[in-house]
């Protein structure tokens, strides 16, 4: 069986993605911050897990180096962790601590994990990297600017990282796919109970990207997806 590593896997979109991949027959490794919640989630899925605070980049580096040494290269890597910035975090009102907190979790840890696991996935020529971004990280389209500066900018950075990595690895022609996904407004802890989409609906595109059939002559990678369609960012 193939290994799927899912961060943010103890709850919400990460757990739902992991649950669906487990149902498809993949071996699952969950990664999240809260040890107790993570232990419960892993017991539910009967899978392995590692607890780490992804804001701590050195701890993240050590954890994922240990994961690679212990479990080998994954076929699927889903980075579903993330944090919202404070409501009043406009560019000129954001503190340095708030900026660094959001950037570390939403972007720097994403780079750290991809930097550690990506080379072996690229070498295997059979890998899928799916990173949860957000429509608030778009630089085009409706509602793309104003407020929540660290969050918006960190997610725009995720979109840029995905595009750059896909270009560097041949846009899928060498077997590695890398994509970002906007789950839209979903009923998670971050999205709230009144959000229009269920967790199953919010996770659907990520699950599809992680498992879809891919023909590089007609399919695309290195893009931002929403509801299984490419959207401009």
Q: What are phi and psi of 127, to 5 degrees?
A: -140, 155
Q: CA 77 to CA 101: how far, in whole Å? A: 23
Q: What is the pLDDT of residue 163?
A: 97
| Whole-number pLDDT of residue 144 | 65
How much is the pTM?
Answer: 0.94
Q: Domains of the chain by range and CATH? A: 3-230 (3.40.50.720)
* 194 vs 145: CA distance, rounded Å: 23
Residue 103 has pLDDT above 90, yes or no: yes
Residue 100 in this model has a pLDDT that exceeds 90? yes
The string of pLDDT tens digits covering residues 29-63 is 999 999 999 999 999 999 999 999 999 999 999 99
> Which one-letter DSSP state was computed for residue 84?
P
Q: d(Cα 118, Cα 111) in Å, to the nearest integer?
A: 10
Across 215-219, average pLDDT: 91
């Amino acid at each position: 069986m193939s290994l799927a590593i899912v961060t943010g896997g103890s709850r919400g979109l990460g757990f739902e993605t992991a649950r669906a991949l487990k149902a498809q027959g993949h071996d699952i490794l969950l990664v999240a911050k809260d040890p107790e919640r993570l232990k419960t989630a892993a017991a539910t899925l009967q899978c392995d897990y590692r607890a780490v605070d992804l804001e701590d980049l050195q701890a993240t580096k050590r954890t994922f180096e240990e994961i690679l040494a212990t479990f080998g290269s994954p076929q699927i890597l889903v980075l579903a962790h993330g944090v919202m910035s404070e409501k009043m975090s406009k560019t000129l009102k954001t503190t340095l601590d708030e900026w660094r907190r959001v950037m570390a979790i939403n972007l720097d840890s994403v780079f750290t994990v991809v930097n550690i696991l990506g080379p072996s996935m690229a070498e295997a020529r059979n890998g899928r990297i799916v990173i949860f971004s957000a429509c608030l990280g778009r630089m085009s389209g409706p509602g793309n600017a104003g407020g929540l500066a660290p969050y918006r900018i960190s997610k725009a950075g995720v979109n840029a990282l995905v595009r750059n990595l896909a270009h560097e690895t041949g846009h899928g022609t060498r077997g590695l796919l890398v994509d970002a996904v906007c789950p839209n407004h979903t009923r998670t802890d971050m999205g709230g109970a009144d959000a229009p989409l269920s967790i199953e609906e919010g996770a659907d595109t990520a699950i599809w990207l992680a498992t879809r059939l891919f023909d590089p002559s007609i399919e695309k990678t290195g893009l931002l997806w929403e509801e299984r369609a490419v959207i401009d960012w």
